[in-house]
Chains A and B, each alone.
Chain A
Amino acid sequence: MLHLARDAYLQMVGHCLDGLPLEACGLLAGRPAEQRASRCYLTKNVAQSARIYEVDPLGHLTADRDAEARGLELIGVFHSHTHTDAYPSPTDVAQAPDPGWHYVLVSLRDIAPVVRSYRIIDGKIAEEPVVLE
């Protein structure tokens, strides 16, 4: 289960909408044991593509340092799918960097954004509920 702070949720969805027509991405931080993302970092997609994303490395470093300074850790990544479902693509699965992370997908296929979260471990996808708080 991923507990997602409401502010983080709104920033995340806003960032994805702002990124159209390209995929947008960002990082989530929290205390891993709590399974709660309390903070959202809006990073650049250096791939600048409507089909793939890559988190700006310097943005990742900055987010990691800021999270650490706040007593948090990076616990996941979010990115948008501009025309497909909020489900990890084969590319998402192949390139998932950390089996401990939460992988949040934001689908902008329809008028209302759809947000879903997954764990990706050893190539296996397991959806988890998202609880806004």
Chain B
Amino acid sequence: MTVTVRLPTVLRPATGGRATVEASGATVGEVFDDLIRQFPALRDQVLGEDGTLHRHLNVFLNDDDVRYLGKLDAKVNDEDTVTLMPAVAGG
């Protein structure tokens, strides 16, 4: 499956400034693997040290938060959009 990945401003330096890139995979995890293969500098910003989703990153598969769809195991379809957004939090 080929999906469109939309990146927030803060991650674009890792993609040479690109806001939208294409990546392939059957799951969100495989899409991330392909994304990191294309742009290695993204790795530490999208995955935690244990290889799971970075805790300060929110990921949407179309309109759905992937934390409710199995996170990296969520299945993707052709022409889906995966949107990455930094968690916005503080105290």
A interface list, Cβ under 8 A from B: 23, 25, 27, 47, 51-55, 57-58, 60-61, 64, 73, 77, 79, 88-89, 91-92, 94-100
Given contacts A61-B63, A73-B9, A79-B90, 18 further A-B contacts (CB under 8 A): A25-B88, A47-B89, A52-B89, A52-B90, A53-B90, A53-B91, A54-B89, A58-B65, A60-B58, A60-B85, A61-B58, A61-B83, A92-B90, A97-B86, A97-B88, A98-B9, A98-B10, A100-B10
In the docked arrangement, what's the CA distance between A27 and B89, Å? 11
Given A61-B85, A98-B8, A100-B9, the answer on whether A88 and B58 have CB atoms closer than 8 Å is no
In the docked arrangement, what's the CA distance between A58 and B65, Å? 7
In the docked arrangement, what's the CA distance between A65 and B89, Å? 19
In the docked arrangement, what's the CA distance between A79 and B58, Å? 19
In the docked arrangement, what's the CA distance between A100 and B65, Å? 25
In the docked arrangement, what's the CA distance between A51 and B89, Å? 11
Chain A residue numbers with a CB within 8 Å of B90 are 52-53, 79, 88-89, 91-92, 94-96
The answer to whether A57 touches B91 (Cβ under 8 A) is: no
In the docked arrangement, what's the CA distance between A55 and B60, Å? 15
Given A95-B56, A97-B56, the answer on whether A60 and B9 have CB atoms closer than 8 Å is no
Residue of A nearest to B86 (CB): A97
Chain A residue numbers with a CB within 8 Å of B88 are 25, 27, 54-55, 60, 77, 97
- Number of B residues contacting the other chain (C-beta, 8 Å)? 16
Chain A residue numbers with a CB within 8 Å of B63 are 61
11 A-B pairs in the complex with CB atoms less than 8 angstroms apart:
A25-B88, A57-B87, A58-B65, A61-B63, A61-B85, A77-B88, A89-B91, A91-B91, A94-B90, A97-B89, A100-B9
In the docked arrangement, what's the CA distance between A88 and B56, Å? 19
Give chain B nearest CB distance to A73 CB in angstroms.
Answer: 7
